[in-house]
A and B are shown apart, each in its own frame.
Chain A
Amino acid sequence: MSALLEVKNVTKSFGGVVANRDVSLTVRQGEIAGLIGPNGSGKTTLFGSITGTHAVDSGDILFEGRSIAHLRPAPIARAGLLRTWQQTRIYGEMSCAENMAISAREAHGHVFSLLRPVPAATRRRGDDLLAFVGLHEKRMEKAGSLSFGQQKLLEFAMALMNEPKLLLLDEPTAGINPTLINGLIDRLRRANTELGVTLLVIEHNMRVIMNLAHRITCLAHGEVLAAGTPEEVRDDKRVLDAYLGVA
């Protein structure tokens, strides 16, 4: 499998705090990669660096072999690399269906190409994806009126609507009703296999990430502590000490 995303020796500090130090990781085409680590270990900062929220201090980030380290979020998104947030971000005053419609790839176009109604096919695809995450009945409701867990599902559906090649998910199961987590894992897998979206997932729920990911990278104190298959990472002594603890 070829590398879709390559993070090469990225360092990022905020004032005196080094959030990422010399971090390297690779996400291969078609896989589900996991990113774990204690709170404050720099996972979300790394997401921000990859998606262009802030510039990196040093190092490089390649997406499909092209450097994206100095691009802003919008061109990175148009290239097919998208993220979701730990605290969800949706368009609160708009209906779920409208949230989906404006998340379609066509909305990337220039201003004048936006001056036409949403095509029926796009509406249908939005409805289908809302059904996929179990929100079809809510499609006419204001997104801001949904519960936190439902907003996370909506945000996930919006991301899929954008047809990304690579989707970075920041704690997709946090705040989701535990009885629904298995369903969500199943949907993440189906997005990967059926829709062909490569995933990089930050997750604190070990049961989820060990089940879901093909390979896992563990960060601690802003540095890569270990990387490998779920079993390798789970049994790594440094990971046990820094993060998982000894059972």
Chain B
Amino acid sequence: MNRLFALRLNDWQIAAVLAFLGLAGPFLLPGLATQIAFLWLMVVFALTWDMLGGRMGYNSFGNIVFFGIGCYAAAVVQRDAGVGYFEGLGLGLLVGACLAVLAAVVFGAAMLGIRGHYFAIGTLGLGIAAGEIAAGWDYVGAGSGMALPLYPGELGQREIFFCYSLFALAAICFLLFRWIYSTRFGLALNAIRDDHDKADAMGLRTTPIKIFAWALSALFLGISGGLAANMIGFIDPRDVAFAGATFGVWMVLMAILGGKGTLWGPVLGAFVFHVTQELFWTYLLGWQRVALGLLIVVIVVFFPQGIMGWLAERRARALS
């Protein structure tokens, strides 16, 4: 057992396994294509949350807003642009990404000056407010939500398409963030997390750094929103687009479960969480929410440092 903990998997070995799952998964397991697609969506959720929550020390409960903006932007553009499905989708994703980034810059300028718990609570309000606004706005279907155009391909093709799209998005997000964390910008995020006042006093331009980080998260969340809305086929303001109580909380949980501020932590957390959740739905139907709640308690009590942190501790003990 100790030897197992001492074993260190190479990044490329893990990446190869994931790439195989991403590329061959939909063909080998066509019945699970939607679940796999959701898995990649969860990976994007966890990675983008970790940029602020793990690397920069700003726990945001409002990241769901950028996802929701992406959902609605795609739906509105696809409804009104009057072009073919894929042109509309592409345009919708672009608009969604731009609006999400814009929102992050505006909210960031207003809110990223707030520290600690106050920021967390402020962003929580942001997510709730966005859901209420969408639910009352007729232009976006108000409380009855919006239906997305039908995917033009054959039956079953839609799942495969979005499975690959979300896999590509998750992979690009991971690789970009991995590179970003290796730059001075990554160090600056960590510096802000460890001692914000010190970072200021050392001359770092902390406000633009924080806004840029949030905008990067929003970029990927906005795109993921457009893809997810099309995959699901329907957006409800509170249960899909601005689903703070589910997606919004899961983002945080997955990053913490895997290990905040680590490279693979958010990816691992998304895997474990998503698989566990699917199993709960399958085998504990009716009790799945209770089981999920218990899982959350177990995560916080037994894995406060996440799986990566726990592994690192075990490895350090095995080696010493």
CB contacts (< 8 Å) of B184 on chain A: these are: 101-102, 106-107, 114-118
CA distance A90 to B194 in the complex (A): 8
Is the CB–CB distance between A82 and B195 below 8 Å? Answer: no
Asked if B187 and A115 make an inter-chain contact with CB atoms under 8 angstroms apart, the answer reads no
Determine whether the beta carbon of B204 is less than 8 Å from that of A90: no
Query: Once the chains are docked, how many angstroms separate the CA of A102 from the CA of B186?
Result: 9
Chain B interface size, under 10 / 10 to 19 / 20 to 34 / 35 or more = 20 to 34
* Contact call A108/B183, Cβ cutoff below 8 A: no
* A165 CB to nearest B CB, Å: 13
- B202 CB, min distance to chain A CBs, angstroms: 6
Specify the main secondary structure of chain B where it touches its partner: helix
Task: Kindly specify which of A34-42, A73-81, A175-183 makes contact with the partner chain.
Answer: A73-81
Whether A91 sits at the interface, judged by CB under 8 Å, is: yes
A117 touches B183 (CB 8 A): yes
How many residues on A have C-beta within 8 angstroms of the other chain's C-beta atoms?
A: 35
User: Judging by beta carbons under 8 Å apart, are B202 and A103 in contact?
Assistant: yes
Check: A94 CB closer than 8 A to any chain B CB.
yes
Q: State which of A74, A101, A118 has its C-beta within 8 Å of the C-beta of B201.
A: A74
Min C-beta distance of B32 to chain A, whole Å = 38
B190 is contacted by which of A83, A89, A98, A162 (Cβ under 8 Å)? A98
Q: Is the CB of B195 within 8 A of A107?
A: no
Interface residues of B in 155-207 (CB under 8 A from A): 180, 182-185, 187-188, 190-191, 193-195, 197-206
Query: Which listed residue, B188, B190, B198, B203, touches A114 by the CB 8 Å rule?
Result: B188
B212 within 8 A of A: yes
Question: In the docked arrangement, what's the CA distance between A89 and B212, Å?
Answer: 25
How far apart are the CA atoms of A101 and B202 in the complex, in Å? Answer: 12
The 9 closest A-B pairs by CB, nearest first: A77-B203, A91-B194, A102-B187, A114-B185, A89-B198, A114-B184, A78-B203, A108-B203, A73-B201
13 contacts between A and B (CB under 8 A): A74-B205, A90-B194, A90-B198, A91-B194, A91-B195, A93-B261, A94-B187, A106-B184, A107-B188, A114-B184, A114-B209, A115-B180, A115-B184
